[in-house]
Amino acid sequence: MSEEKHHHLFHHKKEGEEFEPAPGGGVNEYAYTSETVVAATDDGEYARITKEEKHHKHKEHLGEMGTVAAGAFALYEKHEAKKDPEHAHKHKIEEELAAAAAVGSGGYAFHEHHEKKEDHKEAKEASGEKKHHLFG
């Protein structure tokens, strides 16, 4: 083996390679240059994705309002069941339906929240703001 290799965890460097200063004038301790490549993208795509993000945010807020309204109606029906014992069974059924609607509306708001987060990540990638790293 005439050419001996020095093995390091991440960087392999052959014997005899010369030190190169980093392009910005700083010191690069591994003698390798690094550069960030930002791909040019269509601004129309970025605008479309941000519009979708706003749309999902609006739907998320509607879901939250639905949850609050259905929860308030369920509490009202619970109160009416105690107040009006003659029609208590009807009020208890309506309370359960309102509670189920509140849970469903909360699930919808949760779904829209995650759609909004997904569109936010896509918008970052489309604008070139997000850099692709190995871990994360």
* pLDDT tens-digit map of 84-132: 999 999 999 999 999 999 999 999 999 999 999 998 888 888 877 766 6
Provide the token pair at 51. Answer: 């519009």
- Look at residue 110 and give its three-state secondary structure: helix
Better-predicted residue by pLDDT, 13 or 72: 72
Q: pLDDT above 70 covers what percent of the chain?
A: 64
Residue type present at position 3: E
* pLDDT tens-digit map of 20-37: 655 665 554 554 444 444
pLDDT the model gives residue 37:
43
pLDDT the model gives residue 64:
96
DSSP state of 16: T
pLDDT the model gives residue 38:
45
Residue type present at position 107: G
* Res 41 pLDDT > 90: no
pLDDT the model gives residue 32:
47
Treating both helix axes as pointing N-terminal to C-terminal, what angle do 88-127 and 43-83 enclose, rounded to 10 degrees? 170
Q: What is the pTM of this model?
A: 0.60
